[in-house]
Structure 1
Amino acid sequence: MGIHVARFKVGEETRWGLVREEQVIPIPGQYSSLAEFLGEGAARARALAMGGQGEAIPLARVELLAPVTAPCNVVCQGQNYRSHMLEVGQDPDAKDFNQFFRKASSSLASNQSNILKPARVRMLDYEIELGLIIGRKISGPVRVERERLHEFIAGLVICNDISARDLQLLEGQWYKGKSFRTFCPVGPYVYLIDQEDIARLMNLRLVLSVNGEVRQDASTAEMVYPPEETLTELSELMDLYPGDLLLTGTPSGVAAGRNMSKLARSVGKLISVFLSDKTLAKIILKKQSGDNSAYLKDGDVIRASISSPDGVIHLGTQENRIVDGR
């Protein structure tokens, strides 16, 4: 069974600790980043979990920080859940490529941070995602098998891929629309996995609510491209390092999904033949902003959790509030 570790602040000191029963036990040593912690720090965490001694501090007395630290690669998969593809008018059975994009690592935030909504953004969206923490350097093509995932993935974490849909659609810039500061809440914990956890990886439940209303509720079993296939392909493209973060896609229920499949059916082939991409984007934006109240606004509270049905894997809970920015 894996273990939960957290990056936290107590007083003026930032530490890493083993989380157990609403308490955190500081792990010996100072680690300035997740990448640094994943070496000696992770080994010390496992030793503590096996019965090592340490002073336990109630979680209520510490400030939990983002367990994924910048700088790092933040790589994302687009349209990787069948239900999400269907809600935006796409056919998951016709998809024949793995879609990748990036988020800036400066968008990382903690599980309780306010999410700052830029004044120019009108259509702010949420996307609960399972995050995979890279555990070893990958500097060339490798073949990753499901049963060997623990050799490449150090741990799991909850992520929320906050997205400015108006910028994403109108400007065609996913990086800009998804990379504002605070647009990637992570944590509260990193769950350091063991080999036995791999069997549960494709049966995790993702749940996200806004102001108490459940918007997303699905299983990782829906993934079109599972982690082993994705890591195999990514290894052909780029170098990955310990502490890098891979977001594996979101299921249905995002704000942008409301009315989208209906809109896609109503315009059909005429739009794709006679209208430019920019004109199409403007039509979608006008329809979405006028008829869709699901987009995030000042004061909204997002709660997100990921767990296995048997409760063995539980990644904690995020609770983030939307705050209008400048």
Structure 2
Amino acid sequence: MGIHVARFKTGNEVHWGWVRARQVVPVPGQYPSLGAFLEHGQERAWAMSVGGAGKGLPLAEVEVLSPVTSPCNVVCQGQNYRSHMLEVGLDPDAKDFNQFFRKACSSLTSSTGDIVRPKRVRMLDYEVELGLIIGRRIDGPLQVTRARLHEVVAGLVMGNDISARDLQLIEGQWHKAKSFRTFCPVGPFLYLLAPEDLVRLMDLRLSLSVNGELRQNASTAEMIYPPEETLTELSEVMDLFPGDLVLTGTPSGVGAGRTVSRLARGVGSFIRLFLSDRMLAKLILKSSNPAAYLKEGDVIRASISSPDGVIHLGMQENRVVAQESVTVVDGTAPAIRVGGI
């Protein structure tokens, strides 16, 4: 069985710790990044979990930070769940390629950090996702198998791929639409994988609610491209490093899904042939139900766990806030507040 670890702050100091029974036991040593912790600290965390030694701090009395640290690669999969493809009018059985895009690592925030809605964004959306943490350097093609996935993936985290759908649709720029600061809440915990955990990987339950209303509730069994296939293909494309994050897609229930599926039924496939992507995007924006998207004051709660509770990635609770006014003075501007990174 794997173990849970957390990156946390007490006073002005940042530590890593082994999580047990609502407490976090500090791991000896200083690790300025997730990569450094994986290289030098995780063995100590494993040893502590076996020995059970160490005095714990109540989790409620520390500030839990994102376990993923910047700089790092944040690679995402698009349309990787069958239900999500169906809700946007696409046939998952016809999909013949694995879709990748990037998020800026400056979008990282904690599991309790505020999500800042930029002033120009009207369609702010959510996507709960299972995240894979790379545990070893990959600098060339590598055949990854499920049985040996733990040799490549150090652990699992929960992420939320916050998206500005209006910018994504009108401008066609996924990177910009998904990379604003605070658009990637991660954590609270990093679950370090053990070989026996791999049988649970495709039976994890993803759940997300907005203001108490359940919006997403599905299983990783819906994935079209499972982690081993995804990492095998990524290894042919790019280098990956310890501490990098791969987000594996989201199931149905996103705000945009409701609009697109309704619109697809309305316009029909024949009429769609005469619409450019930009025209269709504008039609989607015009037809959108504002209630489907996030607004200031909304609270998003998300969780990922196995049915037996062995793998549980904690609970995210993030509030949506408005972007504060930025006043330029002598060529400088105050930074947007980003909680818990």
Within the candidate set 292, 296, 300, 1:302 is matched to 300
Using the TM superposition, give the Cα deviation of residue 292 of structure 1 relative to its aligned residue in structure 2, in angstroms.
Answer: 4.1
What is the match of residue 228 of structure 1? Answer: 228
- Check whether the contact 2:111–2:185 (CA below 8 A) recurs between aligned residues: yes
Using the TM superposition, give the Cα deviation of residue 196 of structure 1 relative to its aligned residue in structure 2, in angstroms.
Answer: 0.3
* Aligned counterparts of 1:233 and 1:53: Cα–Cα separation in 2: 41
Amino acid at match of 2:320: I
- Identical amino acids, percent of aligned pairs: 72
CA deviations over 1:149-181 (Å, ceiling 9, x no partner): 000000000100000000000000000000000
* Pairwise CA RMSD: 0.9
What is the match of residue 287 of structure 1? Answer: 287
Amino acid at match of 1:58: P
Using the TM superposition, give the Cα deviation of residue 275 of structure 1 relative to its aligned residue in structure 2, in angstroms.
Answer: 2.1
* Aligned counterparts of 2:53 and 2:305: Cα–Cα separation in 1: 28
* Aligned counterparts of 1:60 and 1:273: Cα–Cα separation in 2: 55
* Aligned counterparts of 2:249 and 2:202: Cα–Cα separation in 1: 13
What is the match of residue 186 of structure 2? Answer: 186
- Check whether the contact 1:255–1:292 (CA below 8 A) recurs between aligned residues: no
CA deviations over 1:24-68 (Å, ceiling 9, x no partner): 000000000000000120000001000152221111111001110
What is the match of residue 322 of structure 2? Answer: 324
What is the match of residue 153 of structure 2? Answer: 153
Amino acid at match of 2:108: L
CA deviations over 1:94-115 (Å, ceiling 9, x no partner): 0000000000000000000000
* Aligned counterparts of 1:84 and 1:45: Cα–Cα separation in 2: 37
* Aligned counterparts of 2:259 and 2:7: Cα–Cα separation in 1: 40
Using the TM superposition, give the Cα deviation of residue 304 of structure 1 relative to its aligned residue in structure 2, in angstroms.
Answer: 0.3
- SS in structure 2 opposite 1:207? strand
- Check whether the contact 2:211–2:299 (CA below 8 A) recurs between aligned residues: yes
* Aligned counterparts of 1:191 and 1:269: Cα–Cα separation in 2: 44
What is the match of residue 125 of structure 1? Answer: 125
* Aligned counterparts of 2:78 and 2:259: Cα–Cα separation in 1: 19
* Aligned counterparts of 2:97 and 2:312: Cα–Cα separation in 1: 31
Segment of structure 1 superposing worse, 310-319 or 263-272: 263-272
* Aligned counterparts of 1:132 and 1:46: Cα–Cα separation in 2: 19
What is the match of residue 39 of structure 2? Answer: 39
What is the match of residue 331 of structure 2? Answer: none
- SS in structure 2 opposite 1:182? coil
1:115 lines up with 2:139 in the alignment: no
Within the candidate set 306, 310, 322, 1:312 is matched to 310
* Aligned counterparts of 1:86 and 1:245: Cα–Cα separation in 2: 26
What is the match of residue 28 of structure 1? Answer: 28
What is the match of residue 173 of structure 1? Answer: 173
Using the TM superposition, give the Cα deviation of residue 268 of structure 1 relative to its aligned residue in structure 2, in angstroms.
Answer: 2.4
Listed as ranges, the gaps of 5+ residues in structure 2 are: 325-341
Amino acid at match of 1:20: R
The number of residue pairs the alignment matches comes to 324
* Aligned counterparts of 2:219 and 2:52: Cα–Cα separation in 1: 35
- SS in structure 2 opposite 1:50? helix
